[in-house]
Each structure stands twice: as structure tokens, then as C-alpha cells.
Amino acid sequence: MSADESGRPSVLSSSAVMAAGTIVSRLSGFVRGALLAAALGQFLHAELFTIANTIPNMLYILLAGGIFNAVLVPQLVRAIERDPDGGERYTNLVITVAALFLAGVTAVLVIFAPLVMQVFLSEQYFTPEYDEHRASIIDLARYCLPQVFFYGMFVLVGQILNARGRFGPMMWAPIANNLISVLVLVGYLVVFGPTPDPYAPYSTQQEMVLGIGSTLGIAAQLAVLVPFLRAAGVRYRPRFDLRGSGLGHTLRLATWTIGFIIVNQIAYTVVVRIASSGVAAGSVDDAGTGYTVYSQAFLLMMVPHSVATVSLATAILPRLSRSAAAGDLRAVGREVDHTLRTALTLILPFVLLLPIVAGPVVEVVYGWGAAAPNVEVYAPSLALFAPGLLFFTVHYLVLRGFYALEQTRTVFWVQCVVASVNIAAAVAYTRDIDPIDTAPRLVLAYATAYLAGSIVSFLVLRRRTTGPEGPGVDLRGLAGAVGRMLAAAVPATAAAYGVRVGLEAWWGTDLKVVVVPTLVAVALAQMLVFVVLARRLRVAEVEEMVGLVARRLPGRLRRSP
């Protein structure tokens, strides 16, 4: 089979373009995170802004994210291939309806911001001693909630581009958001300086700078995408002729996806409430960790997911949709199988490496300004996210198969399992604990939930894609591939740990300037040993990736080792 027939090299190439954009975006995001920690710290003062700035994304996902991210691409692909106008009418209707819906919802959310915050905050914030803090977080939320509109339109435009084979812009656009955020935070530090009190509310001027600056960043990343629509052949004109447009079918599919999102966000709301109580219960003398620590550790953990898994999933979803539309269920299973192997080849080494580099990573990213005196509180949460990343990767990729098959009802029931386990575990793991342990216990609840979700979703998809010729997902072959990956990754991680111990013994750990070279050396050691061992063990996915890199090297360097 040729490369074009299999489609795999093209998927890897498309994924590489998206991964490059994601890497640059994440690096700029690290700068933003470091400045945020330096300015606000990691306790109650930071918690007020973190929660207010996170809720718009949560609400966007609740209101429209599932439709835009999962249901829309298969429908756009079908419209492009089926409709005489190449999907032009369908695309214009989707943009028009989505823009009106998001604008209306955003206006309602801004007006009722106090009620919105009451859902997400623990009871401590509604006692008299927290009146000023509650007023601050409501003001910040009003400045941040317009992000719901910009998040929604950004993802919608990005998915339209993805359906037309333009994968790069959506991955590169967030860099604009990060650049604006960096400029805002630098200005904030110049004007206000690092917070002297990690438990203080904000002034009106501080609220305006942080809230409006954050919203401008989200608006900028949408603005970056708009010119690419015309380049992709989209000529937008507002349309309202809904009859016979196919939107009804899209909304029927989305019904179960909306249920999926509601269930997921209920679990997330429980996590945020528990996390906010952990910080509120703490004090200067007895610090508590909460949503700031949890979310900042989560962002670091999600780097390999964003670089590898999301890029692969975005690239294969149109292909999965075409196989599903042709009724080839086994092909859907085979594509998910292959993508799982490729993603795990990238993710497994990182999962093993994360616990041994968690301390140095948080030191170099968050150990500045107001966060520096207590930077060590991030490390346990980051280290414990490692197994959660593995389970979430499997679950995330398997769900792409269900979306391509338009089996959104199945996704809903699987997510009910994930959400139920997450809520139960979060409540059980955080009962009667020291406030400092709140974030790490919530991380364990996350890992427990996605362990359950990955097992259930994988087994159900395997059964759904099994036909007379056999299963689309080769369980024995996948298990063998994972075994070979582990056989290469475990010694590679041991070598990386040895490099870290040796370098720290040589030049110590007191100076931040040596942390980055230590991390680079540790990562290179693991990668080199892993690639050598994986090639000896005939891990096919490593061979594919080495081949992709070799094809992109200059001619004189392009030779097999």
C-alpha cells in the first residue's frame, strides 16, 4: 500500500504541522504562566483570578464546545462532499446561528455573573470575612465572561478550517493570545508589582487590567483565524434559511453531546468547588492548595497531550468520518488502533519521566516573584498527573472513533461513568485532609476517573468495530506494541534519572540557571535511549516518526542511522 493510500504519512505530516504550532504556543504559554505566578502567587489572591478566568472556557464547553469540537467536523466533511455547493450554505448557516447564539448567551452570563459564581465557589466565599474577595471575583468574572463568545467563534472557525484540510492556523493562533497576555502581565508587574499579600482581594484597577487583558487575548486569537477562511475557499454571507439545511440532523446528534458536556461540567464544577475550599481553608501559616495549583499543574501535564494527541486526533477525524460515512466500521477501528499506538509511543516516555522531573519543572516555570517562596507545592500535583495523562490519552482518542460513527449517545453514557467516578473519588479523597493536600488528591481523582473511562470506552469501541473479518482494534497487537514501548521506555527513564542525579551532584540545585540545562540533558538522555531501544525492539511507530523526521532533513543529513 502506498503512502497516499494508507494516509498515515499524511496524517503524521499534518500532525507535525499542528504540533509545531502547539509547541510554540505552549512555550509562550509557559512565559505567561511564569509571569502570572510571579505577579499573583498560588494561594487565595491568585485563586480569585484563576477561577474567574477559567469559568468562561468551562461555560463555552458546556454551551457549545462539544458540538463545535466533536459533532461539527464530521458534518462539515459530509456537507463538503455531498452538497452541490461544496458545503457553502451549511457553513454559512452554522457561522450565523453560532454567532447569534454565543452573543446572546454571553450577554446573559455577564448580567448574571453573581449567580454564575455562586455555582462554582465554595460556601466560605459567602461568609462576611470574604465579602471583599467575593466582590473581586465577581468583577473579574464580568470582565472575563465575554471570552465565551470569542472562545466559541475561535473553535468554530478553526473546525471549519480543519474540515477543509487547513490544520495549522488553529494551532498557531493561540500564540497571539499568549503574547498579549505576556504584555499585560509585564505591565501589571511594572505598575503593581508582585502581590505582597497572597490572601488579599484586588483593587478596581487590578481587576480591569487582568480581566480586560485576558479577554483581549482570546479575541486576538479569533482575529488571527479569520483571514484563513477566505484562503480556504469560504465566502461567508449571513444566512437564515434553516429549512432543509441539515442543521436539524446536527442538533439531533448534538443532543447526546450536550448531555455529555453537562455531565462532564457537573464533575468539573464539583472539583472547582472542592479546590476553592482548600485555598479558603488555608492561611499564611497553614497554606492550602486549590484550583490554581491544580490547574497550573494540569496545564503543564497537558503539553504532551496538546502536542501529540490533539494534533493526531485532529488530523485523523476527517479520515475517520469518511470511513464511517462509507460504512467501513473496521477501517474506523484500524485507524483508531494505529493512532493509539502512535500517540502512546510519544506519551508513555513522558508519563514515566514526569514524576522525576516535576520538581525542577515547577521550579523553572513557577518559581518566580510571589510564587517563589512556596513553589514546591506544585510538584506533587504535577507528578501525580502522570497516570492521568496516560488514561486520558486513550480515552480521548477512542472517543474520536465514536464521534466519526455519530454514536454520540454512547459517548454520553461513557462520560457518565467518568464523571460519576470523578465526583465520588474527589469527595472521598478530600474528606478530612490537610488543606495543603487538596490539589494532589483532586489529581488522583482525575486519574481514577479516566482509568475507568479509558477501559469502558476502549472495550465498547472494539466491540462496535468488530465485523465478520475480525476486530478493527487488534487488542493483542496493541498490547504487544505497548509492551515493547515499555521495554524501551523503562530503561530510558532509568538512564534519564541517572543523568539528573549525576548533574545535580556535580553542579548542585541552588541556582535556577542550571535547572534548564539539567532538564534538557535528562530529556535528551531518555529520548535517545528510548529511540535506540525501540528501533531494536521493532516498534513500528518509532520507525515511522524517524522516517518523517529524516524526510524533512537537508539532503546530506538524510540517511538512516
- Using DSSP, state whether 466 is helix, strand or coil: strand
pLDDT, mean over the chain: 82
Quote the cell numbers at residue 114. 453573581
pTM given for the model: 0.77
Do the Cβ atoms of 392 and 310 come closer than 8 Å? Answer: no
What tens digit of pLDDT does each residue of 183-219 get? 999 999 999 999 988 888 999 999 999 999 999 999 9
pLDDT at position 88: 77
Q: What is the mean pLDDT of residues 315-323?
A: 73
pLDDT at position 64: 56
Question: Band of the pLDDT at 272, cuts 50, 70, 90?
Answer: confident
Q: Residue 329: is its pLDDT beyond 70? A: yes
Q: How far apart are the C-alpha atoms of 313 and 70, rounded to whole Å?
A: 11
Q: What is the mean pLDDT of residues 291-300?
A: 88
Instruction: Report helix angle 408-429 to 438-464, nearest 10.
Output: 150
Instruction: Report helix angle 438-464 to 329-366, nearest 10.
Output: 170
Q: What is the DSSP letter of 467?
A: E
Q: Residue 555: is its pLDDT beyond 60? A: no
Q: Residue 4: is its pLDDT beyond 70? A: no
Decide which of 469 and 115 is more confident.
Answer: 115
What tens digit of pLDDT does each residue of 246-269 get? 556 666 656 666 676 778 778 888
Q: What type of residue sits at position 475? A: L
Q: How far apart are the C-alpha atoms of 110 and 53, rounded to whole Å?
A: 13
Q: Residue 155: is its pLDDT beyond 80? A: yes
Residue 467 φ/ψ, nearest 5 degrees? -125, -170
In the chain, where the domains are located: 11-473, 477-552
Do the Cβ atoms of 203 and 135 come closer than 8 Å? Answer: no
Q: How far apart are the C-alpha atoms of 444 and 30, rounded to whole Å?
A: 24
Most confident of 1-10, 117-126, 420-429: 420-429
pLDDT at position 496: 96
Quote the cell numbers at residue 158. 478553526
In 3D, which of 309, 333, 499 has the Cα closest to residue 402?
333
pLDDT at position 9: 46
Q: How far apart are the C-alpha atoms of 147 and 65, rounded to whole Å?
A: 13
Do the Cβ atoms of 79 and 87 come closer than 8 Å? Answer: yes
In 3D, which of 232, 263, 61, 82 has the Cα closest to residue 154?
61
Quote the cell numbers at residue 360. 525542577
CA angle 365, 366, 369 (to 5 degrees): 125
Do the Cβ atoms of 21 and 325 come closer than 8 Å? Answer: no
pLDDT at position 230: 82
Q: Residue 173: is its pLDDT beyond 70? A: yes
pLDDT at position 202: 94
| The three-state (H, E, C) secondary structure of 366-390, written as one string | HCCHHHHHHHHHHHHHHHHHHHHHH
Name 429's Cβ contacts closer than 8 Å, sequence gap at least 6.
Answer: 441, 442, 444, 445
In 3D, which of 354, 378, 201 has the Cα closest to residue 290?
378
- Using DSSP, state whether 283 is helix, strand or coil: coil
Residue 506 CB coordination number (10 Å) = 9
Do the Cβ atoms of 71 and 154 come closer than 8 Å? Answer: no
Torsion of CA 160, 56, 428, 348, to 10 degrees: 40
What tens digit of pLDDT does each residue of 449-507 get? 999 999 999 999 988 888 777 677 888 888 998 999 999 999 999 999 999 999 988 88
Q: How far apart are the C-alpha atoms of 425 and 272, rounded to whole Å?
A: 14
Q: What percent of the chain has pLDDT over 70?
A: 81
In 3D, which of 327, 309, 324, 455 has the Cα closest to residue 396?
309
